[in-house]
Structure 1
Amino acid sequence: MSIQHHRAAVADIAPETLYRILHLRVAVFVVEQEAAYDDLDGRDIEPGAELLWAEEAGAVLSTARILREPGALRIGRVATAAEARSRGVASAIMRAAVERCLELDAALPILLGAQEHLVDWYARFGFAVDGERYLEDGIPHRPMRRLPA
């Protein structure tokens, strides 16, 4: 099977696919990481928000979200199914998210909040730590920024 990559606003995603994307986010962030928080924070439906996902045989393997913020773009909700890890799927989603941000506005910085143990992984995509450590749902995070070229 081959992996297909997609990108769309929530309103343009088929209900079954949206369900699979959200189910993956809950499976990773809420269940696996034991962080009881409101994944449905309202930001997925903000103007200009886009979801990206990798799909294989109808299964959503990885996902990310792009948001527009004042003076920046933000990548978040990066999640990969346990069975798809170490296959390059998450890296492909991140590359696609960065490329999309550059298409939207290459003059803007790209922000993200990285779980601390993933700082080096995000650095591979041009991100650098840009602030103090903070806890989000009990998980250490670092703000990161990718400066415009």
Structure 2
Amino acid sequence: MTEPQQTAATRLAQLEWRWKAFDDLTTAEVYAMLAARSAVFVVEQNCVYGDIDGLDSEAWHLFAYGDGSGEKRPPLAGYLRVLLPDAEDTDIRIGRVLTTAEFRGIGLGNAMLERSLTHIREQWPGTPIRLHAQAHLQGFYGAFGFTPVSEIHEEDGIPHVWMRSV
């Protein structure tokens, strides 16, 4: 294993994973979640949109925290939320998938998706899963069994596509 691969593998192995319902989140976790979503989606992607959409309180949230040795709070490395089926939508929906700048390039996106899909399929077997992907990430999500179910369309100035896995 080369030095960068070893470093990436080591950093992945050091992550602390938290899978929680909204009511179980601490104020620090909510703050970290909203700060990361704002940094990635609003600032980095220059996309002004209503991130606080009223759906977080019904969602499950997956957090990946980096090694925060010596820090009061470890840094948030990655995050995603999972919306369960409801009266309006019978699919499970994965959204707000992000890795923070400091943790990119170590395979965290793969690890988060693997972890979330394993959990979803154990808890809600046979339920289709859908996500609204940025169009350039179709190959990434396709590797996890997602296929496009819509045409590419623009949302908030960024090309997106709905994808689904059964």
TM-score where L is the length of structure 1: 0.93
Q: CA RMSD in A?
A: 1.1
In 1, Cα distance between the equivalents of 2:39 and 2:105? 18
Runs (5+) with no aligned partner, structure 2 = 1-10, 69-73
Counterpart secondary structure, 2:127: coil
User: Which residue is equivalent to 1:119?
Assistant: 138
Q: Name the amino acid aligned to 1:139.
A: I
User: Which residue is equivalent to 2:64?
Assistant: 54
User: Which residue is equivalent to 2:95?
Assistant: 76
Q: Name the amino acid aligned to 2:139.
A: D
User: Which residue is equivalent to 1:93?
Assistant: 112
Runs (5+) with no aligned partner, structure 1 = none
1:17 partnered with 2:46: no
Deviation of the 1:82 alpha carbon: 1.2
User: Which residue is equivalent to 1:143?
Assistant: 162
Counterpart secondary structure, 1:7: strand
Give CA-to-partner distance per residue, 1:84-107, whole Å, 9 cap, x none. Answer: 111111211111111121122121
| Match for residue 65 of structure 1 among 72, 76, 81 | 81
User: Which residue is equivalent to 1:8?
Assistant: 20
In 2, Cα distance between the equivalents of 1:71 and 1:9? 19
Deviation of the 1:21 alpha carbon: 1.4
In 1, Cα distance between the equivalents of 2:52 and 2:110? 24
In 2, Cα distance between the equivalents of 1:23 and 1:130? 31
Moved over 3 A (4+): none
Q: Name the amino acid aligned to 2:116.
A: A
Q: Name the amino acid aligned to 1:62.
A: G
Larger radius of gyration: 2
Counterpart secondary structure, 2:126: coil
Alignment of structure 1 residues 16-55 onto 2, 5 Å: 16-46=28-58, 49-55=59-65
